[in-house]
Amino acid sequence: MVFAFKDVSKNRGEKTVLRGVSFETPESGVFMIVGPSGSGKSTLLRLFNRLDEPDRGTILYRGRDIRSINPRRLRREVGIVFQTPAPLPGTVEENIGFGPKQLGNDVDVAGLLRQVGLSVDFAGVMADELSVGEAQRMMIARALALRPSVLLLDEPTSALDPASVRAIETLVHNLVRKDEILIVFVSHLTEQVRRIGGEGILIDSGRVIYRDGADKLADMLERIGG
Judged by the rule CB under 8 A, the positions of this chain that interact with other proteins are 12-13, 49-53, 71-73, 75-76, 78-80, 82, 84, 86-89, 98-99, 102-103, 139, 142-143, 146
The alpha carbons of the chain give a radius of gyration, in whole angstroms, of 17
User: What minimum distance in Å lies between the beta carbon of 35 and other proteins?
Assistant: 20
Give the Å distances, CA to CA, from 159 to 28, 69, 132: 27, 33, 7
Cα separation, 196 vs 106, whole angstroms: 32
Of 32 and 146, CB closest to other proteins? 146
Of 97 and 198, CB closest to other proteins? 97
Q: In what order do the strands lie in the sheet with 56-61?
A: 15-24, 3-12, 56-61, 64-65
Question: Cβ-count burial of 223 within 10 angstroms (0-12 exposed, 13-18 middle, 19+ buried)?
Answer: exposed
User: What minimum distance in Å lies between the beta carbon of 76 and other proteins?
Assistant: 4
CA dihedral over 91, 92, 97, 99, signed as positive or negative: positive
User: What minimum distance in Å lies between the beta carbon of 24 and other proteins?
Assistant: 22
Of 76 and 197, CB closest to other proteins? 76
Of 128 and 161, CB closest to other proteins? 128
Cβ(200)–Cβ(45) under 8 Å? Answer: no
Of 94 and 204, CB closest to other proteins? 94
User: What minimum distance in Å lies between the beta carbon of 225 and other proteins?
Assistant: 27
User: What minimum distance in Å lies between the beta carbon of 90 and other proteins?
Assistant: 9
Cα separation, 138 vs 54, whole angstroms: 30
